[in-house]
Structure 1
Amino acid sequence: MRQRVVRLALVAGVIAVALLVALNLRGGEGGTSEDKPRSTARHSAATQPRLTVPAGYDPRPGWEIAMASAEYAIARKAGRIGYLERTGGDRFRLRTLDTATGRAGWTGRPWRPPASDGPLPRLLSVARDGREYFVTWTFGRAGEDTLTTAGTFVVLDVYGADDGTRRRVEIPWPTAPTVSGTGPGILVGDGRTRSAVVDPASGVVTQVPETSLGHPKGCAGCRRLTEVRGLTAKGLLLSGESGFWVRGGWYSRDVAPAGGDRASGVPTSVVPGRLLAVWRPAKGSKDAATHDIWAVHDSASGRPLVQVRCRRPAIEPGEYPQAVLAPGGGFLVAGNLAFDLERRTGHCFEESDGSKPLTLTTVTDAGLAYGATSARGPADALAGGGTPIALDLASGVPQPLASGVRLPGAEAAGVGLFGWTDTQDRPRLSGHRARTS
């Protein structure tokens, strides 16, 4: 069932826009290109402590912003970073900057979330047909009745990353949603079988009925514990009790990695063009009771690209590690797993020898990964928890970094992005250029 965008009448106050420079509006509801954010002002070393970064990056930031949201999104082709800024009270706006130089880009118009006491707006990026978009989304109630879930909506503002043109999309939604942008559309889900896909170019919303999930023939277990897992270029990725599949496309039983139990696959993380899945070894294998097979698959065809065996934890984790791709797509890391997708090699950094647990958070196009031992997870490692390490995937040997070194949350346009909080509890994002020698 296809439906056009439902316009939601949001209760709005009077918006007073005081700009310090002349506004240069770009098409539609686009952003301003010359409204320079206060957050791009540099702070002297006398008043602001210097962030300690790995030796692979220039110790002095090329640019820095402050008082922005902790989240940011990257449009790599457009060379921009998007971030949210509170403009006073309950209003927000999306700002952008040039990744390489830190120069301010376009700025979106201020807006209010549907519920002033609801969760803060979230931000992601998505690409379709060669064009990139920034997407802010919120969830709230359309009416004043707080005793029922009727009238709640997911509200998305979709901005063209290159020029800031905006399109608002509002979807009636009964419960708190999950929203992801692995492409080529924006997936809205409820963590189970309800889903909607938004075309970022047109704003068209396609709802997938729960009766049309394309369960594979002959897989009775696929109809139990069915769950929408993500979106691929070929359609929705779903899983059941004994398999996973792309609706109208491939089925996990046909793409199991070598030595894997064909009925055991579980998709754990989806990134653009790739899928990370965990499998049990085939029954009768000597390590079937102690190990898992982790495989990176091409999400369009399901074909396994690379795999590695890893000791199964004594206690199953509450959640699986999230995959992170290098900017160019040649490397992938997730938790204690690292893969070179070009050379088809994988590493599992196990704890069976008594070593401390390793959490990898970032990987560059040079195959250099960053992470930490003894961190509670990626967020803790990026916040300075644990002992920082660097890992060259060519050698597969983690090297400890100096105490206090912070890890890049991502790398784009040859710049490492470091999110941190200063001594006055203000969130900051700084860009440090990667050294070439």
Structure 2
Amino acid sequence: MRQRVVRGSLVAGVIVLALLLLLTMCGGGEGGRAADDRPRKPARHSAAPLTRLTVPSAYDTSQGWEISNASPEYAIAQDSGRIGYLERVGDERFRLRTLDAATGRPGWTSLPWRPPALADQFPRLLSVAKDGREYFVTWSYGKAGEDALTTADTFVALDLYDVADGTRQRVEVPWPAPPAVSGTGPGVLISDGRTRSAVVDPVSGEVTEVPETALGHPRGCTGCRRLTEIRGVTDKGLLLSGDRGFWVRGGWYSRNVAPARTDPASGVPTSVAPGYVLAKWQPARGSKDAGTYDIWAVHDTAAGKPLVQVRCHKPAIEPGEYPRAVLAPEGGYLVAGNLAFDLEQRKAHCFEQSDGSKPLTLTTVTDSGTAYGATSARSPADALAGGGAPIELDLATAVPEALAPSVRLPGAETAGVGIFSWTDAKDRLHLIGYPRHER
């Protein structure tokens, strides 16, 4: 009898251990974290990051976090302060990892997946928000199978992850050629850079394609039908431009919202940020400086209203790439190239030299109105990579201050933490978060 009891206890013990092992090995769904899916090198949230870079004095390098083997791109969900980045799993698969920017603590991790793109290329990554919910979106472009021979077999593959819990939706959109994909509005825009587009709703996963015959050209604008391009997605619909203006499909038209003392038919949208459009205008015809200056204005996307504007000398050579608009985390400031805008105080600055050259390139702006950038840099990407001479700029005084040549600039800021990157001797990308000093 005693032997049976002992044997029964042993069997029960084995069953319990087996169940525990099974639970340990199984994940919790598409967005769940499996026990064997932990980061190889978890993000540190102690007081001693692995690397202490030379950064602007506003950041505390004695605290923070660091991750390695990150993807070339990372995405930030500003409202929640989460950061998403990709990690390679084996030779052909990838997974999305998240962390809390304020503490560095790891969040949820996606299950690995295989993109249709080439195995040596990381999928692209962006963030998008709609209806108070935030999403990380990974996307890649490729073909349906190894034997695909025509453009009918190629598609854009998107994985939409709810930032809150990692719930995933997979969306595949047939597409004939490498696309442009952006998330500056409440939907993910896929376009060919001209008039073909598809918008993916991150909440429902629904795909909406707008025919080229239904782009909503404004009545009376004959030039709008020439050189038509889709520029972005707004809360009110697609933002488009033509030869003589820009408009939101079914909404406002630039000629009706032109800033004061500008030619109403000269507006060109150059960059889109969530809720805003940066546009370039020519001074009103007959103005003595019409051939010398441009007027740059920030418009809200809801009604097209110009919020703030500034004059700048025309560049000696038209840039091949318009300045990218970058918002402060809470949206109070916007910088783009050599332009800086205080959206709350309705003040703007153009940092230039009298000959029209652009010595200053701004890359980042914080909620306190501090902008970072570099002089003599070719682009924001060049400045962040160490090109040019780094500077710090308080928008209240609008006086750039030179930083030490070795200072690295923050690529972004969220939750009071500056995000910096560097590549080690083994060509591994590191992301480091340093908090701002408390004042």
> What is the TM-score when the length of structure 2 is the normalising length?
0.91
What is the match of residue 40 of structure 2?
38
What is the match of residue 412 of structure 2?
410
Within a 5 Å distance, the mapping from 1:5-20 to structure 2 comes to: none
- Cα 1:53–1:234 change in 2 (3 A) is same
Deviations 1:373-401 (A, max 9, x none): 01111111111111100000000000001
1:436 is aligned to 2:438: yes
What is the match of residue 389 of structure 1?
391
CA distance in 1, matches of 2:213, 2:97: 41
SS of the aligned residue for 1:150 comes to helix
CA distance in 2, matches of 1:43, 1:30: 23
- Cα 1:406–1:61 change in 2 (3 A) is farther
Within a 5 Å distance, the mapping from 1:52-201 to structure 2 comes to: 52-117=54-119, 119-145=121-147, 147-201=149-203
What is the match of residue 344 of structure 1?
346
Q: Which residue identity does 1:195 align to in structure 2? A: S
CA distance in 2, matches of 1:254, 1:318: 28
1:291 is aligned to 2:303: no
Match of 2:318 among 306, 316, 319: 316
Is the 1:184–1:233 contact (alpha carbons within 8 Å) kept by the matching residues of 2?
yes
What displacement does 1:66 show?
Answer: 0.4
Q: Which residue identity does 2:33 align to in structure 1? A: T
SS of the aligned residue for 1:253 comes to helix
What is the match of residue 251 of structure 2?
249
- Cα 1:46–1:186 change in 2 (3 A) is closer
SS of the aligned residue for 1:39 comes to coil
1:214 is aligned to 2:211: no
CA distance in 2, matches of 1:80, 1:44: 18
Which structure has the higher relative contact order (CA within 8 Å, separation 6+)? 1
Equivalenced residue count is 417
What is the match of residue 264 of structure 1?
266
Higher helix share: 2
- Cα 1:84–1:400 change in 2 (3 A) is same
What displacement does 1:357 show?
Answer: 0.8
- Cα 1:106–1:335 change in 2 (3 A) is same
- Cα 1:281–1:356 change in 2 (3 A) is closer
CA distance in 1, matches of 2:117, 2:57: 44
- Cα 1:45–1:247 change in 2 (3 A) is closer
CA distance in 2, matches of 1:353, 1:227: 32
Q: Which residue identity does 1:200 align to in structure 2? A: P
CA distance in 2, matches of 1:211, 1:223: 10
CA distance in 2, matches of 1:68, 1:276: 31
Gaps of 5+ in 1: 1-18
SS of the aligned residue for 1:55 comes to coil
CA distance in 1, matches of 2:348, 2:246: 23
- Cα 1:223–1:47 change in 2 (3 A) is closer
- Cα 1:117–1:41 change in 2 (3 A) is closer
- Cα 1:122–1:61 change in 2 (3 A) is farther
What is the match of residue 9 of structure 1?
none
Is the 1:33–1:104 contact (alpha carbons within 8 Å) kept by the matching residues of 2?
no
What is the match of residue 369 of structure 2?
367
Q: Which residue identity does 1:31 align to in structure 2? A: G
Q: Which residue identity does 1:424 align to in structure 2? A: K
- Cα 1:395–1:22 change in 2 (3 A) is farther
Match of 2:360 among 335, 358, 361: 358
What displacement does 1:352 show?
Answer: 1.7
CA distance in 1, matches of 2:425, 2:47: 13
Q: Which residue identity does 2:405 align to in structure 1? A: S
- Cα 1:214–1:46 change in 2 (3 A) is closer
What is the match of residue 283 of structure 2?
281
What displacement does 1:115 show?
Answer: 3.3
Is the 2:56–2:403 contact (alpha carbons within 8 Å) kept by the matching residues of 1?
yes
What displacement does 1:60 show?
Answer: 2.9
CA distance in 2, matches of 1:160, 1:189: 23
Gaps of 5+ in 2: 1-20
CA distance in 2, matches of 1:354, 1:147: 50
Q: Which residue identity does 1:273 align to in structure 2? A: G
CA distance in 1, matches of 2:70, 2:357: 38
Q: Which residue identity does 2:55 align to in structure 1? A: V
Percentage of identical aligned residues: 72
> What is the TM-score when the length of structure 1 is the normalising length?
0.91
What displacement does 1:144 show?
Answer: 3.1
CA distance in 2, matches of 1:435, 1:418: 16
Deviations 1:22-42 (A, max 9, x none): 46855x522317643123365
Q: Which residue identity does 1:248 align to in structure 2? A: G
- Cα 1:33–1:261 change in 2 (3 A) is farther
CA distance in 2, matches of 1:405, 1:187: 36
